[in-house]
Structure 1
Amino acid sequence: MNNSLFAASAADLTIERIRALAARPDQVESLTLEFKREYSKSLLTTIAAMANTYGGMILVGINDRAEPGVDRVVGTDAQVTIDKVASGCREKFDPPWEPTFVPVPFDDDSGLSVVVIRVDANTVPRPLLIDLKAPIRLSGQNSTADRDRLLKLAREEPSAGVLPMGQHVMSPNLDRDREGNPAADFILRTGINLPMGEAGAWRPLSERTVAALAQTLNNSAFPAALQTLGHGSFSSSTGFQQHGYNRSRTARLVYRALSDSSVPHPVEAVVTVALPEVYGTSTTATATVAIDVISRVRRYADTFDKVGLPGEEYRYPVPNLLDLLEGILKTTVDPKVVAEIARITDIDAALVAQPRELHLVADRQVKELLRTEGLQEIPDAGASAGGVFRANPALDLRDTADCQEQVDDWIRQLGLDAGLTGMEALVESYRATTRSRT
């Protein structure tokens, strides 16, 4: 889900966050989100439709249409609403099934609440019928499954075809030279898994859509973030363009920083979009988008004195890594990038999930990779050459503060896993400095 409220704990569901969601000009009803002012019989149909599709969230107590100067969040009697919905689910659904209810009270004495109804398609006995029909969810509205769709639902194994909330990403490997030694300082990888729309499941990637994705990547925060790794010492790059393995169902877009040293590409970024093959795969196969960043700045610095201090072994400053990770996450939630990915896979943009996992693999111990100012090694703490970093599902990476919080958490974890203290103070100092500049 693109909306972090779906995965947030009950304690993190506040009326402030709900008001902020409802006030977003780009937040409209979609495959996975609907607003209801109050209980109605159509609410049960929407629950069943989401259950038979990708799941979703319904907020009761919010006007479905926004009017200038009018607060959309009107509230409802939580207990009465929950009782009606639960009763309707037991009486109307075949088999009987209930979603999860989370009442979120107003911060006043009105007694009103917004009722958050979460429909987790992983837990539904599909197809879920109502009045002997199987509703499905289209973009912002409900429809009815035809015979083929109904048969697919009936043949599904439990949880088949539904993306887990955690987006698993395969761990990367460092490229190696002919002697078998690592050919880069480190590689970072994040990515997402995506459902496939009807057209996206059979049509090949078009040159136009791949070119449009490359353009949005070049216009995103990604290139500037990649430049921070080399302190701007390389001013030219190829930009994102097709390179390497590209086929009708796979697009590989590569950014390369350029230098005139023996390390011609100090920094590379590879965005790979892989659609499931038309033949030999199930109807529930998913697409993947993987983002890799390969850095050779340490090797570059050894041969070119524009980076670091002469005569000293180069190490990566922590602020550079903070900027890099923030740039990557900003790119993954950039509305234009999301729109292009959704277009390629023929799905609603709301189904383009936020990345929930990051991998780091280094050619040496992390404590030997980082600049040590402000950091202190913990005796006998052991070695770490990277790690897997999971995201907080309650954070919305589209929000600048949430994005920075996630990046800061990952960097703090990196320091602790590497057996270093002082990372927390280092991160706080950097954030204070950047705030003072703005």
Structure 2
Amino acid sequence: MNNSLFAASAADLTIERIRALAARPDQVESLTLEFKREYSKSMVKTIAAMANTYGGMILVGVNDKMEPGVERVVGVDAQEEIDKIASGCREKFDPPWEPTFIPVPFNDGTERSVVVIRVDANVAPRPLLIDLQAPIRLSGQNSIADRDRLLKLAREEPSAGVLPTGQHVMSPNLDRDQEGKPTADLILRTGINLSMGEASAWRPLSEKAVTALAQALNNSAFPDALHTLGNGSFSSFMGFRQHGYNRSRTARLVYRALSNSSVPHPVEAIVTVALPEVHGTSTAAPATVTIDVISRVRRYADTLDKVGVQGEEYRYPVANLLDLLEGILKTTVDPKVVAEIARITDIDPALVAQPRELHLVADRQVKELLYSSGLKEIPEAGASGGGVFRANPALNLRDIADRQEQVDDWLRQLGLDAGLTGMEAVIENYRASAQPRR
């Protein structure tokens, strides 16, 4: 589920965040999100349908349609609405169960609130029945599970529906030459894990779908972000295309900066989509999308020194890494990229998770990798060759301010783990001088 309000703590659920969500023209009702002006009897069926499918969230006190001149977030009497919904759940559900209710007050003296209903499919008793039927969600609407779907729900183990949503990305390794020495300066990795629709569990990857994903990546913020490495010194690039290990259920798309030096690809990005194999795999196994950025800019700069371009040993400016990370995150939430990933995995785009983990592995200590302007080494602070950076699940990476906050947090962690001070000031100065981004 890619809506950050579902993962936010109660303290982080504010009426400002709800208004910002409701104001988004692209934020429509989906498999995992509904807006309700007030309580209605159908709401109980929606809760059961979400519980029996992927979970979700209902915002009570928000008009379901955005209309000119009509306030969308209108609010309700929170306790009255919660009492009605809870009573309906107790009367209708078999077995008895209630979702989580979080009232979010307007704080304007009106005593009105928006009630956030969280339906966690991983803790709900499945199947959750109403009148001996199991409602489910299909394309933003409620339906009834057929016999096969009902049997699958009944046979689930207690944790069978739990899928990591953007977590637990495997740590990458730097490639090494025949002497065991790293062949790159660093590798960055992020990714997501996805549930799959029924069709993607058996069919091979579509060539058209893979080509469409490559095109979406080429038209995303990713290429410009990759250009920032090396300060845009590479004039030739090969766009994302299939290269290397590709199979019926694995697509590997590669983007490369090109040079005539002994380092032919100073910057390389690899996006790998892997569906679990049809045979010998648990039906609960997720599909994975992995994004790797491999940089050899330092090695490329060394080749320039050898042919007469003299200068200090190259180090990566913090601003370049900041732009790179922002570009990666922006790409993972790009609607066109998300739509193609959803098409490949046969799920609703609303179910494409946001990445919640980033890995960095360097060929040396991080403090030797970064341009030192504004940074100061802490005496005897120890060494760091990278790290694992977790994301704040309450941040919505589609929102530019949230995305910048996440990148800034990661860079602050990178600096502190490397035994450096001054990273906060470097980031603040860059943000103050940079052009506004969209």
> TM-score surpassing 0.5?
yes
CA distance in 1, matches of 2:163, 2:29: 20
CA distance in 2, matches of 1:437, 1:133: 49
Q: Are the structure 2 counterparts of residues 256 and 436 from structure 1 closer, same or farther at C-alpha, using a change threshold of 3 Å? A: closer
Structure 1 position 207, deviation (Å): 1.0
> Residue 289 of structure 1: SS of its match in structure 2?
strand
CA distance in 1, matches of 2:132, 2:189: 46
Contact 2:36 2:61 in 1 (8 A): yes
Task: Name the amino acid aligned to 1:45.
Answer: K
**What is the aligned partner in structure 2 of residue 212 from structure 1?**
212
**What is the aligned partner in structure 2 of residue 109 from structure 1?**
109
CA distance in 2, matches of 1:153, 1:61: 32
CA distance in 2, matches of 1:426, 1:392: 22
Q: Find out whether 1:390 has 2:381 as its counterpart.
A: no
Contact 2:6 2:56 in 1 (8 A): yes
**What is the aligned partner in structure 2 of residue 251 from structure 1?**
251
Q: Find out whether 1:357 has 2:348 as its counterpart.
A: no
* Identity rate, percent: 85
CA distance in 1, matches of 2:223, 2:166: 27
Task: Name the amino acid aligned to 2:241.
Answer: Q
Matches within 5 A, 1:50-129: 50-129=50-129
CA deviation profile, 1:254-294 (whole Å, cap 9, x unmatched) = 00100000000001000000011122222222111000000
Contact 1:301 1:307 in 2 (8 A): no
CA deviation profile, 1:40-72 (whole Å, cap 9, x unmatched) = 121111111111111100011112222222112
Q: Are the structure 2 counterparts of residues 166 and 328 from structure 1 closer, same or farther at C-alpha, using a change threshold of 3 Å? A: closer
**What is the aligned partner in structure 2 of residue 289 from structure 1?**
289
CA deviation profile, 1:379-399 (whole Å, cap 9, x unmatched) = 111111000000111111111
CA distance in 2, matches of 1:204, 1:165: 23
CA distance in 2, matches of 1:240, 1:381: 40
* More deviation, 263-272/82-91: 82-91
Q: Are the structure 2 counterparts of residues 275 and 214 from structure 1 closer, same or farther at C-alpha, using a change threshold of 3 Å? A: same
Structure 1 position 246, deviation (Å): 0.5
CA distance in 1, matches of 2:28, 2:419: 45
List 4+ stretches of structure 1 deviating above 3 A: 305-309, 435-438
* More deviation, 111-120/82-91: 82-91
Using structure 2 for the length normalisation, give the TM-score. 0.97
> Residue 237 of structure 2: SS of its match in structure 1?
coil
CA deviation profile, 1:274-329 (whole Å, cap 9, x unmatched) = 01112222222211100000000111110024999824111111111001000000
CA distance in 1, matches of 2:21, 2:265: 42
Structure 1 position 115, deviation (Å): 0.3
Matches within 5 A, 1:191-340: 191-305=191-305, 310-340=310-340
**What is the aligned partner in structure 2 of residue 34 from structure 1?**
34
Q: How many residues align?
A: 438
CA deviation profile, 1:341-396 (whole Å, cap 9, x unmatched) = 11111111100111100000111110111111111111111111000000111111
* More deviation, 211-220/298-307: 298-307
Task: Name the amino acid aligned to 1:122.
Answer: N
> Residue 122 of structure 2: SS of its match in structure 1?
helix
Q: Find out whether 1:15 has 2:21 as its counterpart.
A: no
> Residue 213 of structure 2: SS of its match in structure 1?
helix
Contact 2:229 2:297 in 1 (8 A): yes
CA distance in 1, matches of 2:73, 2:233: 51
Q: Find out whether 1:153 has 2:153 as its counterpart.
A: yes
> Residue 149 of structure 1: SS of its match in structure 2?
helix
CA distance in 2, matches of 1:351, 1:432: 35
Contact 2:317 2:371 in 1 (8 A): yes
CA distance in 2, matches of 1:110, 1:163: 41
> Residue 101 of structure 1: SS of its match in structure 2?
strand
Contact 1:233 1:306 in 2 (8 A): no
Task: Name the amino acid aligned to 2:189.
Answer: R
Structure 1 position 166, deviation (Å): 5.3
CA distance in 2, matches of 1:53, 1:437: 37
Contact 1:199 1:346 in 2 (8 A): yes
Using structure 1 for the length normalisation, give the TM-score. 0.97
Unaligned runs of 5+ in 2: none
CA distance in 2, matches of 1:115, 1:203: 41
Structure 1 position 435, deviation (Å): 4.3
Structure 1 position 159, deviation (Å): 2.4
Contact 1:230 1:307 in 2 (8 A): no
